[in-house]
Structure 1
Amino acid sequence: MGERADHAGQTPVRVAAGPAPALLMIGAGALMGFSMLAVLIGRSEGVGLVALPAAKPVAQLEFRAEDQADGSIALRNVADQTIVAWIHPGEDGFLRGTLRGLAQARQRDGLGPEKPFSLTRYDDGRLALADEATGRRVPLEAFGPTNAGAFARLMPAPGAPGSPATETR
């Protein structure tokens, strides 16, 4: 029973039988079970995850982007109706492109320009652009400091007087 012949006329070869293959299978099963248990515990307990505290908004600017006849865009502060910035054709490509993308998303959703865009500065220095009409949010630091700086100039440095942005303390 523990022997077999490889080819006709050759000597039979003894096949190893016994506890070794069974122990190997039990060990492999135990290793797989332990691995799955470790992953389950790690995911449910948050082991190895780093959680950053939620940043608090320190300033916010709500503005509308108004297209002009010459191709420029006027950014108007909703609070006092002043022009915060002019974006002329061929200038401020990232700012213009981001606002155009959000405006096109509004058009696709059948929404108008009534609701303003919201630019928020957080206490950790990050900036975020939000479109409350569509629910889209753009974390501006994801595009690098130069591109985030294009929007940062719309808001004064923290603590600067003459702010077009409203403090949210």
Structure 2
Amino acid sequence: MSSTHSHSDMLPRGTLVIAGALVAFAFTSTAIVRVAGIPAAASPAAMRIEAKIAPVASRDLRFLDRADGAVVIEDVHSGQPASVIPAGQKTGFIRGVMRGLARERRSRGIGFQPPFNLTLWRDGELSLTDSATGRQIELTAFGSTNRAAFAALLPAPTASSQAVPGRAPLTVPVT
């Protein structure tokens, strides 16, 4: 057997130089940020803790698939349905978010039992936290219509919690 080597199988020299420069830039940038003590971009949760922003309303929820294709959203503490999303309804924002979170749980071998915590914060932000994985989704970032779909699952706000700057008061439909 001969071990001849063909130069036609190699990457062009310019491509290798650019790839090496890119790797060097990434390492250098990371080192500068670390040495200079530049803080990483803060998460909304970390910013709320730092600013001592308190929750206005919160609810622990469990999302259950029914045999007919509907999704029952259950209040964990009362065991009563907070809402039911009919099977025939278009995918919708709630279904999409929960499908992603359920996929993450399945990949970790976690069932449906641990609740999700839906929280409205004093600054008007709305978040959904998976108690099993710790993953938190900032729902306000998805627009007012999508935010309203989850906000409707919260208990009726008190008079003191309705005046959130920059946000319309929540209305909670009875299901």
* Structure 1 residue ranges without an equivalent (≥5): 1-35, 45-50, 165-169
In structure 2, the partner of 1:146 is 145
**Matched length:** 117
Whichever structure has more strand as a proportion of its residues is 1
TM value normalised by structure 1: 0.62
For residues 156 and 114 of structure 1, do their structure 2 counterparts lie closer, same or farther at Cα, with a shift above 3 Å needed?
closer
The answer as to 2:82 corresponding to 1:84 is: yes
For residues 86 and 147 of structure 1, do their structure 2 counterparts lie closer, same or farther at Cα, with a shift above 3 Å needed?
same
What is the CA-CA distance between 1:126 and the residue it aligns to? 1.2
Q: Name the CA distance, whole Å, in 2 between partners of 1:137 and 1:83.
A: 23
Q: Name the CA distance, whole Å, in 2 between partners of 1:87 and 1:64.
A: 13
The aligned runs of 1:66-105 (5 Å cut-off) are 66-89=64-87, 90-91=89-90, 93-105=92-104
What is the CA-CA distance between 1:55 and the residue it aligns to? 1.8
| 8 Å Cα contact 1:118-1:129 kept in structure 2 | yes
The one of 39, 56, 59 aligned to 2:57? 59
In structure 1, the partner of 2:131 is 132
For residues 152 and 92 of structure 1, do their structure 2 counterparts lie closer, same or farther at Cα, with a shift above 3 Å needed?
farther
State the identity %.
41
Q: Name the CA distance, whole Å, in 2 between partners of 1:140 and 1:99.
A: 12
Whichever structure has more helix as a proportion of its residues is 2
| 8 Å Cα contact 1:92-1:150 kept in structure 2 | no
Q: Name the CA distance, whole Å, in 2 between partners of 1:55 and 1:143.
A: 21
TM value normalised by structure 2: 0.60
* Structure 2 residue ranges without an equivalent (≥5): 1-31, 40-46, 160-171
In structure 1, the partner of 2:164 is none
The CA deviation string for residues 5-47 of structure 1, in whole angstroms up to 9 with x for no partner, is xxxxxxxxxxxxxxxxxxxxxxxxxxxxxxx9xxx59x58xxx
Q: Kindly provide the amino acid, as one letter, of the partner of residue 112 in structure 1.
A: G
**Which runs of structure 1 show a deviation greater than 3 angstroms over 4 or more consecutive aligned residues?**
none
